[in-house]
């Protein structure tokens, strides 16, 4: 099976709520054997358009783990907080 990734492009609206959301996400990832690969701030847009300031990349063992994590009660419970804290585009990918 191929590894799968979730990439989030983020613009923070409320830093306090975003900090709370970020602190609570790792516990939702652990049951799915997921790991944070990268979290960072945009340096420059080198081509095209990119409206967000931050990016996060999370690695999962497979696509089923991504689906399980995203649809889990633990993560779904965080979505209202996430929506208050930031504008976010969240996309999943699989290795080819």
Q: What percent of the chain has pLDDT over 70?
A: 99
The gap between the terminal CA atoms of the chain, to the nearest Å, is 10
What does the pLDDT look like over 48-73, one tens digit per residue? 999 999 999 999 999 999 999 999 99
Number of domains composing the chain: 1
Q: E strands, 1-41, where?
A: 4-12, 35-41
**Chain-wide mean pLDDT for the chain?**
96
CATH number at residue 61: 3.30.70.100
Q: What is the residue range of 63's domain?
A: 4-43+50-94
Residue 61 sits at the vertex; the CA angle it makes with 21 and 42, to the nearest 5 degrees, is 45
The two structure tokens encoding residue 38 = 């990268």
């Amino acid at each position: 099976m191929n590894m799968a990734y979730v990439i989030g492009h983020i613009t923070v609206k409320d830093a306090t709520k975003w900090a709370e959301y970020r602190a609570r996400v790792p516990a939702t990832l652990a049951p799915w054997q997921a790991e944070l690969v990268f979290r960072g701030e945009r340096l420059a847009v080198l081509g095209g358009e990119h409206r967000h300031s931050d990016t996060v990349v999370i690695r999962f063992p497979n696509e089923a783990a991504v689906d399980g994590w995203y649809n889990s009660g633990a993560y779904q419970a965080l979505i209202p907080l996430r929506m208050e804290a930031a504008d976010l585009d969240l996309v999943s990918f699989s290795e080819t």
